[in-house]
Copies of this chain bind each other. A is one copy, B any other.
Amino acid sequence: GPAPFFILGPCALESEAFAWEMAKSLKEIADKTGIHFIFKASYDKANRTSVKSFRGPGVEEGCRILAEIGKELGVPVTTDIHTAEDAEIAGAYIDLLQIPAFLCRQTDLLEAAAKTGRVVNVKKGQFLAPWDTINIADKLRSFGCERFLLTERGTTFGYNNLVTDMRSLYWMRKEGLPVIFDATHSVQRPGGLGGATGGDGELAPVLARAAIATGVDGVFMETHSDPANAMSDGPNQIPLEFMEDVLVKLIAIHHAAHG
């Protein structure tokens, strides 16, 4: 099968300078390893556990920055949107619009994303069975969107834990749906304990390997040049310095498993 592509970038658009730095570094790694990637950063962390947490520059500013980065580096860009209004604004700038997992069944948001004509990437809710993503695909198609992706990011497994069911990737693809595996959010410990349990960041590349061996169309990984000082989701992000090795191994596994 064709080599998987990657969605890479930091969790949050911490600043314009930071976004440029991360994008340039990733572009270099992509050129060196021969992978295709979409640059990702969030302009608004809209469901943080605490109201005191950093949220981001907002939709207008965030999308402008991402679009400039994309144009300059010749790389498609993506970000997550949270309202129908966001969809309209982001649709003017952004190549791939991402629907957050908690919002994956909000009909109005899916419709607004679909109406932009952009590619839409819906994260599968932590509460959703793999086969029920077909309903999401049907909704998107009914709104005229034929180019979309579904992203697996783990399923609720007891309290404060997610599990990645690798069968989910297989089942969704068997339905003809294009599937991304989000390696960094799948290893999150959701809720108030999130981040308190160290060491999960080392798990993201492990699960990415498993997903590639299972078979996916793409892999989503958040990365940061300094995870310990990241403004959000620090413990889960893969250190930028490891990213080249991670990608080289993933490509090798893909060829071994599906070449």
A125 near B: Cβ within 8 Å?
yes
Task: Count the copies.
Answer: 4
A203 near B: Cβ within 8 Å?
yes
Within 8 A of B (CB), among A183-228: 187, 190-192, 203, 206-207, 209-215
In the complex, the answer to whether A139 meets B253 with C-beta atoms within 8 Å is no
How many residues from A make CB contacts under 8 Å with B? 64
When the two chains form the complex, which single residue of B83, B106, B157, B206 contacts A46, counting CB atoms closer than 8 Å? Answer: B106
In the complex, the answer to whether A167 meets B206 with C-beta atoms within 8 Å is yes
When the two chains form the complex, which single residue of B55, B108, B206 contacts A215, counting CB atoms closer than 8 Å? Answer: B206
Which one of A127, A157, A213, A249 has the greatest number of beta carbons of chain B within 10 Å? Answer: A213
Which residues from chain B contact A139 at a C-beta distance below 8 Å? Answer: 50-51
Indicate with 1 or 0, residue by residue over A144-162, a CB within 8 angstroms of chain B CB atoms: 0000000000011111110
When the two chains form the complex, which single residue of B49, B170, B192, B207 contacts A166, counting CB atoms closer than 8 Å? Answer: B207
When the two chains form the complex, which single residue of B51, B83, B128, B157 contacts A191, counting CB atoms closer than 8 Å? Answer: B128
Between-chain CB contacts (< 8 Å), 7 pairs? A129-B192, A135-B192, A156-B156, A163-B163, A164-B165, A167-B187, A209-B214
7 nearest A-B pairs in the assembled complex, by CB-CB distance: A158-B158, A213-B213, A129-B159, A156-B156, A256-B256, A47-B105, A210-B210
